[in-house]
Chains A and B, each alone.
Chain A
Amino acid sequence: MVQPIAQPGTPIGGQGQLIPAHARERLATMRQKRFFTSDLSVNEFLLVKEAGFTPLGLVMGSSIYSISAQHLAQAQPGEVMPLTQSLYQARELAMERMEAEADELGADGIVGVRLTVSVHAWGTNIIEFLAIGTAVHHTAAQGSFRTRSGKPFTSDLSGQDFWTILNAGYRPVGFVMGNCVYYVGPPAQQAAQNGELAGPTQALYDSRELAMERMQAEAEALEAEGIVGVTVDETNHTWGPTVLEFSAVGTAVVAIRADHQIPRPVLVLPVGD
């Protein structure tokens, strides 16, 4: 059974608030003046409105984490649980802060979520996670699209995909993710002949599956029907070739009606290049 590894978010806004003071000010202004900023393109903006939602504003959250390699002093290849949890928390924190901003705006959800990782001070094992998206609320029935626990939905769907999926009878409930940090171990002595390396195969395969399983568990917690747009990635971060982090992310969806008929597509050939 997969144990959840989420930890409650750390307040950084003073007085136990999740988001910093300046962010709260900016959001309050946006709410008052009905003035929104967003990085939706013109087409995305129109389609989001078509779907019955109003864009409220750009929201973001970030977290900076130190991922030192001290845990790698261990001898065995295998999952490095402290690093897995650390990286998960880093992402979770960035997402939570973004959601908190959306909450301040009174949003139903966030579309176009981008979760990126970057290394700033090279050689120091410090990475930053940044989550950015556009908060929206349902024009006619505000509050009706939140998740079952009353939080705004998150999704990495673009404006176009958002419109498309709503029209097909689904709605997004959450941006779900799972990860697993795996220490490969020192390179094996050169094997004598060609053949599968059974140990590493099982291990890496297993680690990827674990990341995907954790992602699925998150979707189940949201009582979703499924996850679309899953990407499974791996990266070394700053550790070099002996350590890999596998991550699986996607958007969890639930049905809003029983049938999911879409009009039969018309075949077109664009003459623009």
Chain B
Amino acid sequence: MTQDLPKHARERIAEMRAKKLFTSDLSVSEFLLVKEAGFDPLGLVMGSSIYQIAPTIPNLAPGQPGCEITDMTRALYHARELAMNRMEEEADELGADGVVGVRLTVRLGTNPTKQWWILYREWQDWARSTGFPRSSTLLGMGWERWPDVAAPMWSHYCQQLGWSPEPPAPWTRPRAQTAYSFGPNAAEFLAIGCAVRHRGGESYKNIHGKPFQSDLSGQDFWTLIRSGYRPVGFVMGNCVYYVPPQLLQAPPADSCELGAYTHSLYDARELATERLQDEAEALGATGIVGVTFAEREHSGRFAPWNAGNGALQSGEVIELFVVGTAVVPSDAGGTLPKPTLVLSANDEPEPLPGSSSQRGE
């Protein structure tokens, strides 16, 4: 619903429409290729959602090998959906046929213990490279009190170099990675893309009458269109699966496969793949290209974060997701000329930081 979009979003889109001012986060090459493929970039569209995802350890019967944490799966799914739907809404407002170059990013709330660990490692690296003895930097289980060792070390170092007043230590610098603080279990889901419309007025909307979304770059979009296909949607399937600690155990001397754990991983993948395919079928697609398969394991989702063997106490949480672009053959058809092998005399230009030539090719 349009009421869902914040006030400034509606203003901005209305102005873009009124003044016919296009904005795009496509690089120059992408921009021109999208035009060459017969589409006009209309404007940058985005959607976001800040979502609370509190994990719960499922109660498993002793023999059961592990199971999906459906609440978390649904929560992750819902959060992404909210962000993507708002982006789609903005695109619809602009009268777009679709959105290309969709980037979906997830920023998790910072886990304080983990941030502390990262600083500990930074201090260690500095101390070793500066020449302090290794033994003085190994704090083992008491690592959390590392500033007690680090501060005097830094003071000593500054004194030796004659730096006075003492500057702040490197590990106290502002972090390069943006930190968010909405709460320990909150995450921000952000979707950004460039809305486009077919110049000739042909409808490229999907079967629900909404603009298609795809994570294809400008180049990939051009190639896809010219080879006789068109994107119908950005499809995803995910699964959050819990593996209880006993599945990680084996007699110490035995070299053996952990069959039950392996089975759980396959189960998670089946669930995710099924959902991916269901989404694509719902859009009437004939195929999915560019599938990215991401599998991450987090034992720290329940217990306080603990490097090393946390999983042996709390169990493992497997997060598996697959995303891709669903496609159908286009009525326009298309034939690509045969590619040529070349030896380019062109160097890859050094992208200027922050410049448009950094994206796309």
A interface residues (Cβ-Cβ under 8 A, vs B):
2, 41, 43-44, 112-116, 119, 121-123, 156-161, 164-165, 168, 184, 187-191, 193-197, 200-202, 204-206, 208-210, 212-213, 215-216, 219-220, 224-232, 234-238, 240-242, 244, 249-251, 260, 262, 264-272
B contact residues around A191 at 8 Å (CB): 52, 54, 183
Q: Are A232 and B192 in contact (CB under 8 A)?
A: yes
A-contact 0/1 string along B322-360, CB 8 Å cutoff: 000000000000001111111110110111111111010
Extra A-B contacts (8), CB below 8 Å, given A184-B182, A209-B11? A158-B352, A190-B184, A196-B52, A197-B50, A213-B8, A241-B180, A270-B343, A270-B344
**A220 smallest CB distance to B (angstroms):** 6
Query: How far is it, in angstroms, between the C-alpha of A116 and the C-alpha of B355 when the chains are bound?
Result: 11
Q: Which residue of A lies closest to B44 (CB)?
A: A230
Does B247 have its Cβ within 8 Å of any Cβ on chain A? no
With A43-B349, A213-B11, A229-B28 known as contacts, the answer to whether A195 contacts B51 (CB < 8 A) is: yes
A contact residues around B36 at 8 Å (CB): 262, 264-265
Q: Are B21 and A226 in contact (CB under 8 A)?
A: yes
Of B92-100, B136-144, B168-176, the segment with at least 4 beta carbons within 8 Å of chain A is B168-176
**A179 smallest CB distance to B (angstroms):** 13
Q: Are A168 and B32 in contact (CB under 8 A)?
A: yes
Q: Are B343 and A272 in contact (CB under 8 A)?
A: yes
A contact residues around B223 at 8 Å (CB): 267
Q: Are A187 and B183 in contact (CB under 8 A)?
A: yes
Q: Are A206 and B9 in contact (CB under 8 A)?
A: yes
Q: Are A229 and B355 in contact (CB under 8 A)?
A: yes
Q: Are B174 and A122 in contact (CB under 8 A)?
A: yes
Q: Are A269 and B24 in contact (CB under 8 A)?
A: no
B contact residues around A121 at 8 Å (CB): 167
Q: Are B343 and A271 in contact (CB under 8 A)?
A: yes
With A157-B355, A158-B351, A250-B23 known as contacts, the answer to whether A188 contacts B342 (CB < 8 A) is: no
With A43-B347, A160-B357, A200-B182 known as contacts, the answer to whether A231 contacts B352 (CB < 8 A) is: no
A-contact 0/1 string along B216-229, CB 8 Å cutoff: 00000011000000
Q: When the two chains form the complex, which single residue of B5, B74, B174 contacts A238, counting CB atoms closer than 8 Å?
A: B174
Does B145 have its Cβ within 8 Å of any Cβ on chain A? no
- A-contacting residues, B4-36, CB 8 Å: 5-9, 11-12, 15-16, 19-29, 31-33, 35-36
Q: Which residue of B lies closest to A239 (CB)?
A: B174
Q: Which residue of B lies closest to A114 (CB)?
A: B352
Query: How far is it, in angstroms, between the C-alpha of A156 and the C-alpha of B340 when the chains are bound?
Result: 32
Q: Are A271 and B24 in contact (CB under 8 A)?
A: no
Q: When the two chains form the complex, which single residue of A188, A208, A216, A270 contacts B15, counting CB atoms closer than 8 Å?
A: A216
**A168 smallest CB distance to B (angstroms):** 5
Q: When the two chains form the complex, which single residue of B12, B21, B350 contacts A209, counting CB atoms closer than 8 Å?
A: B12
Does B106 have its Cβ within 8 Å of any Cβ on chain A? no
Q: Are B344 and A187 in contact (CB under 8 A)?
A: no
Q: Are B9 and A209 in contact (CB under 8 A)?
A: yes
B contact residues around A196 at 8 Å (CB): 49-52, 78-79, 82
**B308 smallest CB distance to A (angstroms):** 26
Q: List, sorted by A's number, 22 A–B pairs whose CB atoms are closer than 8 Å.
A: A44-B349, A112-B352, A116-B353, A123-B167, A123-B168, A157-B355, A157-B356, A158-B352, A161-B29, A187-B183, A193-B52, A194-B51, A205-B48, A206-B6, A219-B21, A226-B22, A227-B21, A228-B28, A236-B175, A238-B174, A262-B35, A269-B342
Q: When the two chains form the complex, which single residue of A161, A193, A219, A265 contacts B27, counting CB atoms closer than 8 Å?
A: A161
Q: Are A236 and B179 in contact (CB under 8 A)?
A: yes
Q: When the two chains form the complex, which single residue of B27, B50, B344, B356 contacts A200, counting CB atoms closer than 8 Å?
A: B50
A contact residues around B19 at 8 Å (CB): 220
B contact residues around A159 at 8 Å (CB): 349
B contact residues around A161 at 8 Å (CB): 27-29, 355-357
Query: How far is it, in angstroms, between the C-alpha of A113 and the C-alpha of B168 when the chains are bound?
Result: 32
Q: Are B182 and A216 in contact (CB under 8 A)?
A: no
Q: Are A212 and B44 in contact (CB under 8 A)?
A: yes
A-contact 0/1 string along B32-63, CB 8 Å cutoff: 11011000010010111111111000000000
Q: Are B356 and A251 in contact (CB under 8 A)?
A: yes
Q: Are B340 and A232 in contact (CB under 8 A)?
A: no
A contact residues around B24 at 8 Å (CB): 226-230
Query: How far is it, in angstroms, between the C-alpha of A191 and the C-alpha of B172 when the chains are bound?
Result: 31
Q: When the two chains form the complex, which single residue of A201, A213, A269 contacts B12, counting CB atoms closer than 8 Å?
A: A213
A-contact 0/1 string along B302-322, CB 8 Å cutoff: 000000000000000000000
